[in-house]
Structure 1
């Protein structure tokens, strides 16, 4: 099936029943891409005081990584001096200093805008600028080619869709661990094997009829501890989840049965996380945006986790990485970057454990870097951070780890780690087969 015809079909289906779509930007506005804006829509220039440099589109090399690892912090933010820096910290980050005054700190390093995508991905984003539109009340997108629909966003929902649809390599397998860390710092690692297939991100991939309205296919198999070994999750992630809800199945190794899992969405507990995050917190935010009102607050400069190569280093064990309440601050790296700030407020009559979420999204990658999460009483409950890192091949900005800190219980979850493996846990050369993302395939994969 021709890829362009298939995408056009998706656009037509999504447009039906949506008499008014939010317009794309004009050709004159789109002409800024590659000029004062990068091809991904970020401001090309640095900031006024030079603490954020100009974006240069220079791919990162292994020698550059070595140089980053040798750098020393410019300064350190602690509970004692945090007031000096509060304008460049989120509300959740500020509370972390108050909650752990004796142990929590941020080492701030020189800023390097290392987030770079392949040329073909930039071209897709530029093409979307004058065509992509929100439809179905913002729950779908028409006339876009599957990647970063809104390089010049007009509202908060468009910014979030850029995060949801950003390039992540097209096909990937990874073997990583999740660490649900208790208040005293103790944890039992949970090892998971995950595969991804993002059909519209794979150049030359022959789309099938069933790929219509699909963002990605995903499997997660638990490899340890023994009590969870063999449990498998399968997800077909849909673009418009109101028209066609996310499809999910679970294989339970103990029962040896595959069951539909419609609850794997929104605020249901995340798989194998000890209840420390919701399903839609994976990758900082995923899934349908329909339960929230989205407000684009604007842009600001924020200290965010970036170039987290030390955190990902095989020189450090999981015990080295964790401390009671938070990661080992000697292994984290913060830099000053421009971010989009988006507020999500729960709609009247909608249900979710988070009544409000505030997202800070990196302008160069569209990756959510920080999220502050509020409960139904309006109290700050959890703080998420995505510790970003540039993968050198195939040039993918993604995460070395993501954390979710529970300010009320003192526990936190860190996921995506592969430090104790002999090789990287991420394999972007993986060739995914469509027939492995079926209920019968996960039944076979789940046998102990």
Structure 2
């Protein structure tokens, strides 16, 4: 009985703190002057950003499901390059973290290609986003979202927190199986590849799901390390709630050395991400995840910026990993930058809270809501200490736009973490046969045995 009273009180509190939706007049812009997900349909005045005409709507000729994705823009050549020497002419359009990377590495070049607005999503995601525009609400002081079950929750955002929720709740498929490699690269260039089998079951965004079906659950996630041999068999399971202040993330780890499953009670915020040599934090997985309550979120606005995009070259099959991973950074000759409009959101640590990053500045793609770049500051929010970059492609068999490679740079330690290396692995399966029962501590224990 007491549990019911607590739940009822919590529900009343959430209802009282719900924030307003946009009106029908604003919502009608979706699919007209705005894209179905809320980007500006038109190009820019200089025509350096073209109009969005639907993105990639069918696979490249010759592609078969299970293949690595051929580059639909392989014939493109760079329009110009940016390096440390030429940065001044382009600084207004280069994220500060990337500027620091260029200054620290005079050999690094940003090769800027023609802008291709390739982002697309299934029609049902467009339809759900249209519904969300007049129904989605922030609740619990911004720590949760209600009234939505699929699609972008706030396609016409009014504040920074709504923009960040659009990234957290963007469409990433329904059931995903993938094999990828991660490397923590030390200052001297040394690294060891860690191979992981990864699985995800998304509750939010599933076809036919309703808000009542979510039960405060976004997704389930699991990985199992398969190499190197000394840690092979170690695994992690995560049950991701939508509102992580109302219910904390549940996570369990199986340690092959100890041969037991243990609960990880604090896999959140700036706790260290397992298996990343101290570079990755819990809330930098997928660039940013988890409860937003430690920060004040400011919507700076929309800007035209040079950001990673259409990164098919670094995704190509057969590339050797030591050709991609270099001493101080990813091999820039394999990367592609384009000029895109991005939402800029700044997160500043609230008084009374602690985090190793006192400030972060996020740059989010207007067409997909994928975070593309982040400037990372120290605990006082004054000194730039790192950067994150996402190198995305359109997985056009779905279709959806998300990362093929994620990189976190630690300027202070002259090291970086690269995740998503899949060039010599079986390609992602977006139709994996999974259920929530595969993501429990019991399942982890069985697999360990």
| 1:68 alignment partner, SS class | coil
Against the structure 1 CA distance between its residues 326 and 15, is the aligned structure 2 distance closer, same or farther, given a 3 Å change threshold? farther
Distance in 1 between residues matched to 2:297 and 2:443, nearest whole Å: 38
Matched, 1:93 2:98: yes
TM-score in terms of structure 2 length: 0.93
Against the structure 1 CA distance between its residues 438 and 374, is the aligned structure 2 distance closer, same or farther, given a 3 Å change threshold? same
Distance in 1 between residues matched to 2:100 and 2:82, nearest whole Å: 13
Against the structure 1 CA distance between its residues 12 and 144, is the aligned structure 2 distance closer, same or farther, given a 3 Å change threshold? farther
Aligned-pair CA distance for 1:435: 1.1
The structure 2 residue matched to 1:143, chosen from 140, 147, 153, is 147
Asked if the contact 2:149/2:209 (under 8 Å) is kept, the reply is no
| 1:7 alignment counterpart | none
Asked if the contact 1:92/1:382 (under 8 Å) is kept, the reply is yes
Against the structure 1 CA distance between its residues 227 and 153, is the aligned structure 2 distance closer, same or farther, given a 3 Å change threshold? same
Distance in 2 between residues matched to 1:168 and 1:243, nearest whole Å: 24
- What per-residue deviation string (whole Å, max 9, x for no partner) do you get for residues 84-135 of structure 1? 110101111111111111x111000000000100000011111000011111
Matched, 1:253 2:281: no
Distance in 1 between residues matched to 2:165 and 2:8, nearest whole Å: 15
Aligned-pair CA distance for 1:142: 1.5
| 1:42 alignment partner, SS class | coil
Q: How many residues are treated as equivalent by the alignment?
A: 434
Aligned-pair CA distance for 1:65: 4.5
Asked if the contact 1:199/1:207 (under 8 Å) is kept, the reply is no
Matched, 1:269 2:272: yes
| 2:26 alignment counterpart | 29
Aligned-pair CA distance for 1:16: 3.7
Asked if the contact 2:128/2:151 (under 8 Å) is kept, the reply is yes
Structure 2 gaps, min length 5 = 1-6, 62-68
| 2:59 alignment counterpart | 61
Distance in 2 between residues matched to 1:207 and 1:136, nearest whole Å: 16
| 1:268 alignment partner, SS class | coil
| 1:443 alignment counterpart | 445
Structure 1 gaps, min length 5 = 1-9
The structure 2 residue matched to 1:51, chosen from 45, 48, 68, is 48
The structure 2 residue matched to 1:385, chosen from 386, 389, 404, is 389
Aligned-pair CA distance for 1:313: 0.8
Pairing of 1:301-380 with structure 2 (within 5 A): 301-377=304-380, 378-380=382-384
Distance in 1 between residues matched to 2:199 and 2:447, nearest whole Å: 12
- What per-residue deviation string (whole Å, max 9, x for no partner) do you get for residues 251-276 of structure 1? 12222221111121111111211111
Asked if the contact 1:284/1:368 (under 8 Å) is kept, the reply is yes
Aligned-pair CA distance for 1:15: 5.4
Aligned-pair CA distance for 1:11: 12
Asked if the contact 1:221/1:446 (under 8 Å) is kept, the reply is no
Asked if the contact 1:389/1:399 (under 8 Å) is kept, the reply is yes
Asked if the contact 1:177/1:192 (under 8 Å) is kept, the reply is yes
Question: 4+ runs of 1 displaced by more than 2 Å?
Answer: 10-18, 63-67, 204-209
| 2:77 alignment counterpart | 72
Asked if the contact 1:267/1:280 (under 8 Å) is kept, the reply is yes
Asked if the contact 1:236/1:248 (under 8 Å) is kept, the reply is yes
Asked if the contact 1:11/1:141 (under 8 Å) is kept, the reply is no
Aligned-pair CA distance for 1:206: 9.8
Distance in 2 between residues matched to 1:255 and 1:212, nearest whole Å: 34
Q: Which stretch of the first structure deviates more once superposed, 196-205 or 45-54?
A: 196-205
Pairing of 1:79-158 with structure 2 (within 5 A): 79-101=84-106, 103-158=107-162
| 2:73 alignment partner, SS class | helix
The structure 2 residue matched to 1:282, chosen from 275, 281, 285, is 285
Asked if the contact 1:371/1:383 (under 8 Å) is kept, the reply is yes
Pairing of 1:391-430 with structure 2 (within 5 A): 391-421=395-425, 423-424=426-427, 426-430=428-432
Distance in 1 between residues matched to 2:80 and 2:183, nearest whole Å: 29
Distance in 1 between residues matched to 2:71 and 2:347, nearest whole Å: 39
Q: CA RMSD in A?
A: 1.9
Aligned-pair CA distance for 1:205: 6.4
Aligned-pair CA distance for 1:34: 0.8
The structure 2 residue matched to 1:161, chosen from 158, 165, 182, is 165
| 1:220 alignment counterpart | 223
Pairing of 1:179-218 with structure 2 (within 5 A): 179-204=183-208, 211-218=214-221
